[in-house]
Amino acid sequence: MRRPVLTTVTSILTVSALGLTACGSTGGGKGATAQAGTPITIGVSVSLTGDFSGDGKALVQGYDLWAQDENAKGGLLGHKVTMKYVDDASSTQQVVTNYQNLITQDKVALVFGPFSSLLTIPASTVTNRFGYAFPEPAGGGPSVFTRGINSLFFVQPAAVEDNLVSFTQWVLSLPASQRPATAAYATEDDPFTQPQVDRARALLEAAGVKTLSYKVYPAEATDWTPLAQQVISANADVVILGTQEPDGVAFIKAFQQQQYNPKALIETAGPDQGADFSGKVGVANTAGVMVPAGWYASAKTSGNAKFVTEFTAKYGGAPGDISGDAAEAYSVGQVVDQAATKANSIANSALITALHNGTYQTVQGPMAFDATGKPNGATFLVQWQNGTPVPVYPAAAAIAQPLYPKPNFGS
């Protein structure tokens, strides 16, 4: 079931209503404070249209649920929260404009991040220039952390370059008689997807798994059929795809139509989208599909049971339908709440200092950030089984055994 989404707010608070004061050229940034008890607006650029629209809508759900919970307990350090969303159309140019306007025109007190490393990189350049803390849920590619920015915090368990390591470890842990001998790779030319795929390829090749096909395609591509056909023609044992949701869905549909059934199939994103993914490919075609993840619905993490209960009550569906993006967005709010409490301030400079110190509890588990904003945890391997994504590796996170070989599509 596709979940309804709130996409905008109808009333935007002005700088005078917020009671903000500014220092120098930072606007609402480093020197901003809010008078006790006054409401604040948090600005977010989200992809409500374009390639990342499915992910963007899931982020809105997570952010809105956090704001609802925050306001129910009295607000962020006593400040009731209003979320303002602006559509970036999945565009690197528009995301820059959006954050510039949110900060300089709307005078928002705080900002949260968009979807993807592709958008996070230019967005964080803007927010850092204005002295804003930039907690973000979905931008963890290697190039995010190499630009000398200390105000960015990637709120997932691990940087994405390591996301497929658990998959390669599982593959190489299989008995020699079952271990796949060949692999095919295809990935978007994207700072989120390609580093993951290239790391997995290097690890598998070093262990003797032969590469039969490797293709990097433009992130702007809209026809993935020829790319899928190249993978099918390779007829490899294992397929590793650097996808977002649209191309992830397209590859699976092409494989199903051509009755190509590799022994294992993993995508960097798409299968983490819950009901939005299964609704597009068909539940019968999800069986055995894998994705790296940092969250699952039955995890015994801080606030997760409440999050899942409230999410399904607010948006409908079952716990297994919830997108991991929503949990990541909710986690952004959780770390900001705890950092504000620790600093006893919602000033951006105070939040930046606090977030660089200590460990923060989230629905994705505990996390801490290094000097570049990179988290220090690890992801795990999730596989769709019986219409639901479940963690299957490593053993410490698993609640089911991996299905291998993967069931045929449509079975």
The structural domains of the chain, ordered by start, are: 15-160+299-367 (3.40.50.2300), 161-294+379-393 (3.40.50.2300)
Predicted pLDDT at 27? 38
Q: What's the predicted TM-score (pTM) here? A: 0.81
* C-alpha count within 13 angstroms, C-beta hemisphere, residue 385: 15
Predicted pLDDT at 7? 35
Q: What is the mean pLDDT of residues 391-405?
A: 94
Find all residues with CB under 8 Å of 313, minimum gap 6, and list them.
none
Predicted pLDDT at 378? 84
Please name the residue that has the structure tokens 């023609």.
233
Which of 362, 380, 377 has its CA nearest to residue 135? 362
DSSP, res 375: B
How far, in Å, CA of 317 to CA of 319, rounded?
7
How do beta strands 264-267 and 289-293 pair?
parallel
Please name the residue that has the structure tokens 């945890």.
377
Q: What is the mean pLDDT of residues 161-185?
A: 95
- The pLDDT tens digits of the residues spanning 332-362 come to 999 999 999 999 999 999 999 999 999 999 9
Judged against a pLDDT cut of 60, whether residue 17 lies above it is answered with no
How far, in Å, CA of 411 to CA of 407, rounded?
7
Predicted pLDDT at 12? 36
Query: Alpha-carbon torsion 289, 159, 275, 248, what sign?
Result: negative
Judged against a pLDDT cut of 70, whether residue 26 lies above it is answered with no
- The model's confidence at residue 13, banded by pLDDT at 50, 70 and 90, is very low
Predicted pLDDT at 162? 85
Predicted pLDDT at 1? 34
Predicted pLDDT at 159? 83
- The model's confidence at residue 381, banded by pLDDT at 50, 70 and 90, is very high
- The pLDDT tens digits of the residues spanning 102-133 come to 999 999 999 999 999 999 999 999 999 999 99
